[in-house]
Every structure is written in C-alpha cells, then in structure tokens.
Amino acid sequence: MKILITNDDGIHGRGLKELANVARRFGDVVIVAPDRERSACSHAMTLRDPLRVHPVDFDGLEAYAVNGVPVDCVNVGLTVAYPDGCDLVLSGINLGPNLGFDITYSGTVAGAMEGAINGIRSIAFSLAVFVAEAPAHWETASKWLEDNFEALAAAPWEDLTFLNVNIPSISYSELRGTRVAEMGKRVYKDRVEKRDDPWGRPYYWQGGMALMSANQPHSDVKTVSEGFVSVTPLSLNWTQRALAEQVARSGNWPIDLS
C-alpha cells in the first residue's frame, strides 16, 4: 500500500510523527508537509509564489518540507513521490478538534479533501484537545489508529468522498468506542476582539471561544463530547438536491442533475 501523509501543524508536528509511525506498519509511507504551522488555512493553494521542496530526515522515511499549505503538499507529493498515484492520503494528526464547521476552516481536512479531488481514498485525523493546557493524549490516538487502520483503509469509499476522524484526548481506557456521526455545528462566541496596541491604535484579534453544545443528536460534536471517536464521511459534491428541485420549480427553470 502506497501512503502519502501531510498535515497543517508542520513537518515537526507531534501528530505527524504519531501518524507516520502507525502508517508505516501497513504500507510504504512518504511524508510531504508544510515547513511550518499552517492551521486554519482551509483549502488554500499557492499560485503566485514558487514552492520550495526540501528533503527532511524523518526516522528513515522519505520526507519533504514544503513552503506551502497542505493542498500544495498533497499535489507536490503526487508529483515528486507518487507520479502514478497512491492508495491512501492521510492528513494529521491535528492538535485540536476539527468538528462541525471547523471542517470548512481546517488545513488538516483540506489535505484529505485534496486527496479526494485527486481520486484517492483520503482520511483526516484530529486529536480533540479543547483546552490549551490540557494534556494531549497522543498515545490514545496512536493506539486507536493502530487498532482501526485496516478497517479505515478498507471501508466503503465513493468518488469525491473522504473521512474526517476526531479522537477524544482522554486515556485509551476511557474511550467508549467509535461511532459514525454526521457533521455537527461548532460555532464561536466573540469571534473578533478589538484591542489597542501600546500606542493606543486599535487592532483586531480573530479567534473566539468555541461553543460546544452536546445537544446535537447524531453529530460529531455530541459523539466526541461523550467520549467516542467520531468518524464522519464527507462529500465534495455540495449540491443540495432537494433544494435544487425547489429552486427549479420556483423559477420554472429546467433542472440538470444526474
């Protein structure tokens, strides 16, 4: 099995090492990751600057650092290492959750999304640490991934789809199991905060506090909050078919959906 691994925490991210150490037991691994943290870059792509690719010593694995974002890394990897394609694109393990609407901002998820665009089975992984000072249970993520790697790699797959996996940052013995869940809602309070610099000039800091409501039946948010690993199948076909039919009727327009 040929496996391409990327992330958005950078080539030196702890989660990348954990993911690679598990994946190498199941196939041939090549790592192509950003040369620095690129969190919340979403599905950005570098178009107006050259991409520099540098080999990196990575515990005996073929690895490259790229001065770009995860999407760039996947495309560089498919050019430099796997010009004939690969079997699996893995992205992560991200330090922090990618639940609900986080999916739309996440560079980690974008790495898997780009794999799917290239017609490759792809999976994004995140360790759901919600508080900066809380311990990151990497051992839990690694153990769960080791136990479930083959099932993930062999799971049913369709064109333009990928999986988003969130692992609660708790001890492995506390994990209650794994659930397939739908994408929930994870919104932020006070997203933009106004501050003043030492000279009294205003500036704005974007971020905010995530509101984690567990009152979302069947969602990834609720699943993780209850101590389960969430596995969410996602599709790049964003067409809302039922609404498309309503829109067509409202304007008396023909509809062109396969």
Residue 143 lies in a domain: yes
Residue 108 lies in a domain: yes
- Higher-pLDDT residue of 215 and 155 is 155
Residue 9, amino acid: D
Omega before 11 within 30 of 0, i.e. cis = no
pLDDT of residue 24: 98
Query: Does pLDDT of 188 surpass 70?
Result: no
Instruction: Using the CB atoms, write b or e for 28-43: b if 16+ within 10 Å.
Output: bbbbbbbbebbbebbb
Residue 190 lies in a domain: no
pLDDT of residue 258: 73
Residue 203 lies in a domain: no
pLDDT of residue 214: 57
Closest among 143, 145, 165 to 97, alpha carbons compared: 165
Compute CA distances 243 → 218, 250, 255, whole Å. Answer: 22, 10, 11
| Pair of tokens at residue 171 | 């001890």
pTM: 0.93
What are the residues facing 31 on neighbouring strands?
5, 63
Compute CA distances 255 → 238, 239, 248, whole Å. Answer: 16, 12, 6
| DSSP designation for 174 | G
State which residues form the domain around 39.
Answer: 2-184+214-251
User: Are 62 and 76 within 8 A, CB to CB?
Assistant: no
Query: Does pLDDT of 85 surpass 60?
Result: yes
251: left (phi over 0), alpha (psi -120 to 50) or beta: alpha
Residue 51 lies in a domain: yes
Residue 195 lies in a domain: no
Average pLDDT over residues 72-77: 98
Q: What is the CATH number of the domain that holds 98?
A: 3.40.1210.10
Residue 81 lies in a domain: yes
pLDDT of residue 1: 96
Domain count, the chain: 1
Alpha helix ranges (H) inside the chain: 14-23, 70-80, 102-105, 107-117, 138-154, 220-225, 241-251
Residue 168 lies in a domain: yes
